Amino acid sequence: MATKLPPLNICVRIRQFYRLLTSSNKNEAAIARRKLEKLLAKHGLEWADIPSVLDELEKHPKTRTNRTASSPPSDSPPPDPNAPQVNVLDLVARLIELHFAMEPHERIAVALWDLHTYVFGRFIHARARQPVERLDWLAGRPAGA
């Protein structure tokens, strides 16, 4: 992982290309991937450095993505450590349990799949296997059966 990030304008370009990776236009996504790989290599960065680049952009008021009038000032107090912690998987599984008739093992598989589809575009390595193969595996069937 690189210790020094490139200038802010380069970080903005990295973020733009990274966002285009999930484009529904396959050609646009492929071009964005090539440009992103070239830009990362030019500045001595790796794919693992992208979260650091995105975090750095969020620190600057001009490049922050959540710039709204209602967002709290940066000197706001930290969140309460005694606040209840929510396990998102348990929450989704409970909602599925309330609204669908399923066996417990089916419910957890659907909850995991639902959460996976929510974060699918954020992680490049999530695309390693085809979705149908994953569902076959979860159902206990041989792939493609």
Q: What percent of the chain has pLDDT over 70?
A: 72
56-67 per-position pLDDT tens digit: 888 888 887 764
Report, as an integer, the average pLDDT of 14-41: 89
Choice between 77 and 69, residue whose per-residue pLDDT is larger: 77
Q: What is the pTM of this model?
A: 0.46
| The predicted structure's pLDDT at residue 69 | 44
Note the pLDDT of residue 92: 92
Per-residue pLDDT band for 27 (boundaries 50, 70, 90) equals: confident
30 in Cβ contact with 59 (< 8 Å): no
Q: How confident is the model at residue 75 (pLDDT cuts 50, 70, 90)?
A: low
Region at 22 (left for phi over 0; alpha for psi -120 to 50; beta for the rest): alpha
Give the side-chain half-sphere CA count within 13 A for 2: 17
Burial 58-96 (b: 16+ CB within 10 A, else e): eeeeebeeeeeeeeeeeeeeeeeeeeeeeeeeeebbeeb
Residue 125 pLDDT > 60: no
- Rounded Cα–Cα distance for residues 52 and 44 (Å): 14
